[in-house]
A and B are shown apart, each in its own frame.
Chain A
Amino acid sequence: MLVKRKGSHFMKRILFLLSLSGLLLLLSGCWDRQEVNDLAIVTAAAIDKKGDNQVELSVQVFVPKSLGGGGGQGGGSEGGGTGKTTLVISQKGVNVAEALSMVQSELPRKVFWGQCKVFIFGEKAAKEGIQDHVDFLLRHPQPRERADVFVSEGKAKRLLELQTLLERDVSEAIREQAKLGVGMKVTLQDLGEMLASEAQAAALPYLKIVTEKSEEVSYQFVKNFATAVFKNDQMIGQISQRKTRGLLWLKNEVKDYTVTVKPKDTKGGISLNPISVHLDLIPQIQGEKWKMVVKVQTEGSVIQNGTNLDLNNPKSLKMIEKVYEEDIKKYIESTIGQVQHKLKADIVDFAKEFHRKYPEQWKQAEHRWEEVFPEVKVNIYVDANIQRQGNINESERRREEKR
């Protein structure tokens, strides 16, 4: 009996403690709680320069009603997403933080950065320096470090206001395009690292609005066009789409594009897709001479053959490989030429390679890297293999020749 009584007393105590801890939960008052329908979900943000020392922040906010998922009392009359899916709001401020607070004052819902995956800097803002803005984006807990960062030609806000046909909104279109690897893809974290790196240079994809005109409609879309080059945190120039490809080779980010080469003594061209790329940057210091050996190993597959060459013939295959190698080399050379001698910004991050291999020499040269970098001699070796020449079809020109 004694045991029983003790047990019930114990249980009482447990229940008491349990109810106490239950009350503790209520005390917190769900302070951190944010219902989805109280959020203004930012899908993209643009930072522009406005007037003197003013920053204009534009946010693209998702409009949930536009998807018409809730059914609604109207019996789905407004369903089907007929309305605009996004809303662009811009406000000025001394800096991004202030502009943001102004944006917030215009919105009935709390601005939520957690899903913002696209940040675009206007060209003017980029030329003034982006360090300030990046500081805000990295310091604020909500923006994602994995969001993509871009620079736009002209005002960035214009991009946010574009209508898209294929994707839900322009932010998604830009993001998906960057993912394809046609141009550069730089995340907020990458940018932060670039800005903090020894090279003191950064490269961001450069967006441009392109108008496609047909007889009836003209349609504007965003093109991941080229690359904006930053020195310290200021944009100093850009490199073209063609040279961006060379940059992709150097950054080992080549993914999905087609190289068309035209071998000598033949008509037509042959198109190749790189399958795998291996890149080695080997820094060398001989005396006062700084040298960088760039070794590219790549495998390609033939996707179109418009020449009269027989690809089953090892000789012609070798020849194409040779041409392919030279083509890649040309790309890289022209890119390096511009980066090294015209822009003088080490966006390829040679600095890191030298620092790693020659820490002593690097220490001495660190402060004058700007002067050293254009002087670095670059040797490029490309080793290309063609793995899949494709045996199904013979080229038309070859057939003609046979006849």
Chain B
Amino acid sequence: MIRNMSKLLRKTKKKKQNQQESKPQDALHQSFNENVEIFRSIYENCSDVVFRPFSIFGKTRAMIIYIDGLSDVEGLDENVLSPLMQETANESQPFNELLENKLPVSNVKKVNLLADCIESISTGNPILLYEGGSDGFSLSLAKWEKRSIEEPAAESGIRGPREGFTESLQVSTAQLRRIIKSPALKIQSMKIGSYTRTTVALAYIEGVADQTLIDEATNRLQRIEIDGILESEYIEALIEDNPYSPFPQIKSTERPDVACANLLEGRIVILVEGTPFTLIAPISFFSLLQSQEDYYQSFMISTFIRWLRYGFFVISLLFPALYVAVTTFHQEMLPQALLLSIAAARETVPFPALVEALMMEITFEALREAGVRLPKQVGSAISIVGALVIGQAAVQAGLVSAPMVIVVAITGIASFMIPSYIMAISVRMLRFPIIFFAGTLGLLGITMGIIAIAIHLCSLRSFGEPYLAPLAPLKGRELKDALWKSPLWKMGTRPHFTGESNVYRQAQGQAPSSKKGGESGN
């Protein structure tokens, strides 16, 4: 990263034919004038960078460099400029110690390197340079416009905390820290992107997360050399195990409670500045079909809803394909009355079932996509177009059969039942080849498609952990949180693959009962 930066700087320097060949890793010059010159040449044509010359205690020349809009100007006036300009010096103290004492700013860092200065300025912390010192001060006065904490739009729920991560990394890490107060929560940050210099933070709980996992994650993150990181997907795309898989191998969430739940199970969370979506790894297939609310409800309800979700996951993947296969190859499989109804409905349809299904599914996907992109003011138009034109008119015109509309509608609802949006999209995409298989080979084709997907899922890994765990490899103890959801007091152990280093998460035998409550006096 540093190398890239220097390359870049060198290039600009060469172009300018500047006499000063200073590299970022160089220390600041002794000479104040020279330092100022260097900065001026670095920030040439940067109209948003402010150079504010003044003199400290009326004697020493000094310069404050900051970026307009990233720093707290009022704070700068009040806490830096006014004390330094107005007060007089106490000569007995060394000058830079004196400076530190006179600055009522919470975090003042001494910086020696040019690179550090640049870093500090770009993150919004003004740099104070003064005459006679080969170092500057980085003043933590960064302040810029932020979005306030809001309820996450993509992961809403009935019960549970309503706050979501925001674009600001500091706020996000603070949200984590507010939930997990133990110092064992470690947040390591690094800068990725030669131009964007985006802060990426790796969060984990020491002693719960496996050290090899942390090392692996750090490694993978450090390997990234790219011009910019605009969203956490950039990171995801560069660190996932199998880039050629339609299935997400890293989960993204914008909920602090979900991130913390995963931290407590020994996973790592990667927070990226500039996006509310944080990454969770390693994950399994089943975790993508679980929502945070599964844990905020009674285990019976959670299990029921989980199974509903599994069922609709299958429907979402297979229903149109099954319809096509059964109506074009296996008509004897349907109950007689149903087949006759379908036959009556299909009587006027000019297309084969396969074409009909593909047409309707593609239209539905287009409607969905258009709905996402559409401005809110015209949003209602899409539902009218969708419901009336596609649904009713097409059926009335005899272009599409009513059962097919029902199939597509149920499939659409089913795909929205998958809590993870990325997972839902990949299922939607896989639906098409399976419909095609069904249209050419019937149930045999569907079986082929399912087998192909199953093989792929079995071979998939997320940060080295098997994707289908705990089903394949079978970990009987862990089915408690996959096939069904055990009550909280039965979830005594952390997941095998991620929480191995610290197995027990709670005391045993906490099943509540009225008898125990009475005995507690003993």
Q: How many Å lie between the Cα of A39 and that of B339 in the bound state?
A: 11
Interface residues of B in 363-414 (CB under 8 A from A): 395-398, 401-402
From A28, A34, A73, give the contact of B440 (CB < 8 A). A28
Q: From the candidates B336, B340, B442, name the one contacting A67 in the complex (CB within 8 A).
A: B340
Q: Which residues of A contact B346 (CB under 8 A)?
A: 35-37, 64, 70
Closest to A24 in B: B440
**Interface contact B341-A69, CB-CB below 8 Å:** yes
Q: Are A70 and B348 neighbours in the complex by a CB distance under 8 Å? A: yes
From A71, which residue of chain B is reached at the shortest CB distance? Answer: B396
What 1/0 mask marks residues of chain B from 445 to 466 whose CB sits below 8 Å from any chain A CB?
1000000000000000000000
> Do B339 and A34 touch (CB < 8 A)?
no
Interchain Cβ contacts under 8 Å between A and B, 22 examples: A25-B441, A33-B328, A33-B352, A33-B439, A34-B331, A35-B346, A36-B353, A62-B340, A62-B343, A64-B347, A67-B341, A69-B402, A70-B344, A70-B346, A72-B348, A73-B397, A114-B332, A115-B331, A115-B332, A117-B336, A168-B340, A172-B336
B1 proximal to A (CB < 8 A): no
- A32 contacts chain B at the CB level, 8 A cutoff: yes
Q: Give the interface of A toward B (CB within 8 A).
A: 11, 25-26, 28, 30, 32-37, 39, 41, 43, 62, 64-73, 75, 112, 114-115, 117, 142, 144, 168, 172
Complex-state Cα separation, A65 to B445, whole angstroms = 31
> Is the Cβ of A39 less than 8 Å from the Cβ of B244?
no
B349-A115 in contact (CB<8A) = no
**How many residues on chain B are close to A (CB under 8 Å)?**
34
How far apart sit A25 and B433, CA to CA, in the bound complex (Å)? 11
Provided the pairs A30-B440, A36-B346 are in contact, do residues A112 and B331 lie with their beta carbons within 8 angstroms?
Answer: yes
Asked if residues B329 and A25 are in contact (CB atoms below 8 Å), the reply is: no
- Residue in A35, A71, A115, A142 whose beta carbon sits within 8 Å of that of B339 in the complex: A115
Q: Of the candidates B328, B347, B440, which one forms a contact with A65 in the assembled complex, judged by CB atoms under 8 Å apart?
A: B347
Nearest-neighbour CB distance to chain A for B122, whole angstroms, equals: 32
| Cα–Cα, bound, A215→B339 (Å) | 39
CB <8 Å contact, A33 and B348? no
Chain B residues positioned under 8 Å from A66 (CB to CB):
344
For the complex, what is the distance from the CA of A26 to the CA of B401, rounded to whole Å?
A: 25
Question: Could you tell me if A41 and B395 are in contact, using CB atoms closer than 8 angstroms?
Answer: no
Contact check, A34 vs B336: say whether CB atoms are below 8 A apart.
Answer: no
Nearest residue in B to A32 (C-beta to C-beta)?
Answer: B329
CB-CB < 8 A to B344: which residues of A? 64-70
* Pick from A34, A43, A71: contact of B348, CB under 8 Å: A71
What is the CA–CA distance of A34 and B441 in the complex, to the nearest angstrom?
12
- B9 interface residue, CB < 8 Å from A? no
A71, B343: Cβ atoms closer than 8 Å: no
Whether the pair B352, A39 counts as a contact (CB closer than 8 A) is no
User: B346-361: which residues lie under 8 A (CB-CB) from chain A?
Assistant: 346-349, 352-353
Q: How far is the CA of A64 from the CA of B342 in the complex (A)?
A: 9
Q: How far is the CB of A114 from chain B (nearest CB, A)?
A: 3
- Which B residue's beta carbon lies closest to that of A15? B244
Chain B stretch 44-86: residues in CB contact (< 8 A) with chain A: none
Contacting pair B336 A115 (CB below 8 A): yes
Complex CA gap A71/B402 in Å reads 9
Q: Decide: A70 and B340 in contact? CB cutoff 8 A.
A: no
Find out whether the CB atom of A41 lies under 8 angstroms from the CB atom of B343. Answer: yes
Asked if A34 and B347 make an inter-chain contact with CB atoms under 8 angstroms apart, the answer reads: no
- Given known contacts A69-B344, A69-B347, is B327 in contact with A36 (CB within 8 Å)? yes
Q: How far is the CB of B421 from chain A (nearest CB, A)?
A: 27
The complex places the Cα of A94 from the Cα of B135 at a distance, in Å, of 111
- CA–CA, A28 to B344, complex, Å? 29
Q: Is the CB of B336 within 8 A of A72?
A: no
Task: Give bound CA distance, A71 to B332, whole Å.
Answer: 25
Cβ contact within 8 Å between A34 and B329:
yes
